Amino acid sequence: MKKVLLIVVGIVLVALFTPPMVGAQEATVSTVGVEGEAGSTVQVPVNLNIPSELTDGQELGSLTVWISYDPALLSINYIQTAWGSIISAASVAGAQFNVPTPGDARIGIVSTFGMSGVFQPLNTEPGGTIITIGFDVNSSANMGDSGTLDIYKLLLTNETAETVTSSPVNGTFTVATPTPTSTPTPTSTPTPTSTHIPGFNVAFSIVGLLGAAYYFRRPPSNLS
């Protein structure tokens, strides 16, 4: 009896002190850390990775992602689904992008028969980009300012509407140092130099002497 009790206690202790394999059993949706200069437009990819044990051979049925960002630094220019990365356009029944207030982006994608693309089925790792968000960086943002691209709501289901365990991985945005513009180096204008023609002064003197001789040797004009 004591031996059985020791075995049971040992199993319980192993279960208590063995860390759960969270990383291997969760899908992740992540925003990527990016930088951009004030006044520019930056692209932020939203990536999806689903371990194969979570899908049981099924494809993705729906995806809901809500992302918050600092509206003092960023404003949304566009949101688009990254067709061809891991989702094909033909497999999507509907995609909705909404910005209810500045600083809040809400994305929903649904398929009635399972989204397919490179994922055939959706149990292929490492995943890929599902959404691309274009942000305009505030022209008055200060260099070095940063904010979190926070996924604060996330829901994934498979094609039979069962929830797929998932967790967000948040990125950051940082206002980058402006790229210096090169100033062209001024070029000096060469100083004009006089060209000396050999014999020019001598020839000019001879012509002058001949002219003077002619003047003094000509007959005087008749004066009336």
How does pLDDT run across 110-146, given as a tens digit for each residue?
A: 876 555 443 333 434 457 888 899 999 999 999 999 9
Task: Inform me whether the pLDDT recorded for 58 exceeds 60.
Answer: yes
What per-residue confidence (pLDDT) applies to 133? 94
pLDDT at 78 over 90: yes
pLDDT of res. 119 = 37
Q: Give mean pLDDT, residues 145-173.
A: 92
* Predicted confidence band of residue 181 (pLDDT cuts 50, 70, 90): confident
Cα–Cα distance for residue pair 4/127, rounded to 1 Å: 46
Asked whether the whole model's pTM tops 0.75, one would answer no
Return the domain boundaries, the chain. 40-166
How large is the average pLDDT for residues 41-57? 80
Tell me if the bond preceding 126 is cis, omega within 30° of 0.
Answer: yes
The arrangement of strands across the sheet holding 41-49 comes to: 74-81, 128-137, 41-49, 27-31, 166-169
More confident: 17 or 41: 41
Q: How far apart are CA 127 and CA 29, in angstroms?
A: 10
Please give the residue that has the higher pLDDT: either 53 or 69. 69
Please list, in sequence order, all residues whose beta carbon lies within 8 angstroms of the beta carbon of residue 99, skipping any fewer than 6 positions away.
76, 105, 106
Q: What is the pLDDT of residue 66?
A: 97
Between CA 82 and CA 46 the distance in angstroms is 9
Q: So what's the architecture of 40-166 in CATH?
A: Sandwich (2.60)
| pLDDT confidence of residue 30 | 93
Is the per-residue pLDDT at 105 higher than 60?
A: yes
